[in-house]
Amino acid sequence: MPQPEQNPQTKGERNLYSKVFREWKGVYTKSDRTAMPEDTFYDLTNLQPIGPANMHTVPNISASLHNFATDIVYLSQYAQLGAVPYQFLFTTNGKVFTYNWNTTTVTQINSGVLLSGAGSNMAQWMNTYILFSDSTGYYKWDGSTFALLSGGAFPSAGTAICVYAGRVWISNGRLITYTSAYDGTSPNDPTVVTAWEAANGAGFLNMTDPTLSGSITGLVQQNGYLYIIGATCIYALSDIYVPSGASPPTPVFTLTPVQSIIGTDQPYSIFPYNRLMMFANRFGAWALSGVDAEKISGDIDGTWQYLTFTPQITGGQVVVNNILTAAFLITRSSDPVFGSGPVIAMWFEGKWWFANYGAITLVSTALISNVPVLTCFIGNQMYRCFYNAATAPNTRAMTPLWSMDDPISLKAFIRAGVETIVNVYGGSISLTVDGTDSSTAFPVSPITGGITFTGAGGAPISFVGSAAIVWVVSSYILYSGAPPGVWSAYIGMTITGSGIGYQLSSFLLDYKKSARWGNQ
């Protein structure tokens, strides 16, 4: 809200008003900047809105962890085998690589046994095997040998795979096949053909319901359910048990339709987030809790309307500034404000912001020391996001264009600025004042705190050197300046940071009003 006039005015001089903006939420792009809620932003790039007067830049991307050269990675998934944490990388030429997080070594594990190069999936069986489904078959890796499991009752192909209730479930088209329940004995080990035989309790589920359009796109176990996901629906399978005395020991279960229309054809966008199953589709990002799916991307509908879905959306969870955050890699196409290209849409506690490290092609989660981290690929090189706290990525925050409760009077900027606490130096901050028709950059001067060094007797200490000695204090800095003559019925600001890390505390501006209805 506009504040009262600051100084007594001489006769005929217009009143001076102030605007302080520090009670804020996240990004809101579903309307024009002139119609946004006053406590939101039109853009927050590499700035995380933690709370009132507390917005932080994020750590920069790491150095390249590995260059896969001509092996184009289209999928990255995490799993642990024994005590070793691995990232599994699937390439379009059918190779499967592991990245050992302990040693940082990269190894191709399927030499001579190539996969199809598209649509593969994997699941972890205890800490003993990694199981793979592919259009070419069903595979296992035990840490040393990658092998095709074929013949007999083994599934011959699969588009999704999951471990749930002591069984392995593999879908192919609309058909789901599953193993017998593992009881610790070899015949029920999912890498042994007997585990897939009906006589031992294996079985199948054929999804005949017309709510499922086309094929199953994902199988996910979470919160006691096996979620069966299609492009147009979600089912929840639960309450699985074998009736007493059943022979063969075929299980029964409850199959509940959870959602119709709402599903996803973006299977690599599915990931767990706390007790939620997160996923994205062509009309939003969603959080599924139990059997209720809630759209969480309404605030950024104005971004979603300009998305392209090739490459498909990928996602994961990550801790940023010690806050667990959901991440969706989306690709804008001809957005009239932001143009085209990938950006990571970040969400926590109902607030959105964006991370942008360049031309990222996919993201995924890994667990390092039991903490979720986000990996990504740029130019077929693997990186870790939000990793390098010693440097800062470029940042931008765009406020609403405020009417100041009077949209029919023009306003003139008198002075504008931002309050910050800088913690990564070497870059710069710039500001623009924004109206409905233009944005105008203006010079800003930082006002910093200072330290006086004194000796034991209280006398100041002088420093002498062959070059100028500059002391930089990581504390409050006010960047402010007087914009040139800018008049607009709606006014706002944009801050841009280049290579500088900071906490943003508030936007400040002084303005005057002209006569109403546009007459100055």
**10 Å Cβ neighbour count for 319?**
14
Q: Would you state the pLDDT for residue 465?
A: 57
Sheet with strand 252-260: strands edge to edge: 216-222, 225-230, 233-241, 252-260
Q: Would you state the pLDDT for residue 395?
A: 96
Task: Encode pLDDT of 421-459 as tens digits.
Answer: 888 777 888 999 999 888 888 887 776 555 555 666 666
The Cα 312–Cα 296 span in angstroms is 19
Sheet with strand 276-281: strands edge to edge: 271-273, 276-281, 284-289, 292-295
The amino acid that residue 412 corresponds to is: A
Q: Give the residue among 220, 215, 356, 211 at the shortest CA–CA distance from 286.
A: 220
Partners of 351 in the beta sheet? 348
Q: Would you state the pLDDT for residue 204?
A: 96
Residue 394 CB contacts under 8 Å (≥ 6 apart), including other chains: 45, 46, 356, 496, 497, 498, 499
Q: Give the residue among 121, 190, 128, 124 at the shortest CA–CA distance from 157.
A: 121
Q: Per the structure block, which two tokens stand in for 138?
A: 């069903």
The Cα 28–Cα 45 span in angstroms is 13
Q: What is the DSSP string of 491-513?
A: BEEEEEEES-EEEEEEEEEEEEE
Cα separations in angstroms, 393 against 39, 364, 389, 412: 25, 20, 10, 32
Residue 205 CB contacts under 8 Å (≥ 6 apart), including other chains: 175, 176, 178, 237, 255
Residue 144 CB contacts under 8 Å (≥ 6 apart), including other chains: none
Q: Would you state the pLDDT for residue 469?
A: 56
CB 271 within 8 A of CB 317: yes
Cα separations in angstroms, 54 against 26, 322, 328, 427: 12, 14, 23, 20
Q: Per the structure block, which two tokens stand in for 257?
A: 């339709």
CB 182 within 8 A of CB 165: no
Q: Give the residue among 444, 434, 425, 359 at the shortest CA–CA distance from 397.
A: 434
Residue linked to tokens 């939000």: 386
pLDDT less than 70: residues of the chain: 1-13, 447-475, 518-520
HEC secondary structure over 417-443: EEEEEEEECCCEEEEEEECCCCEEEEC
Q: Would you state the pLDDT for residue 520?
A: 46
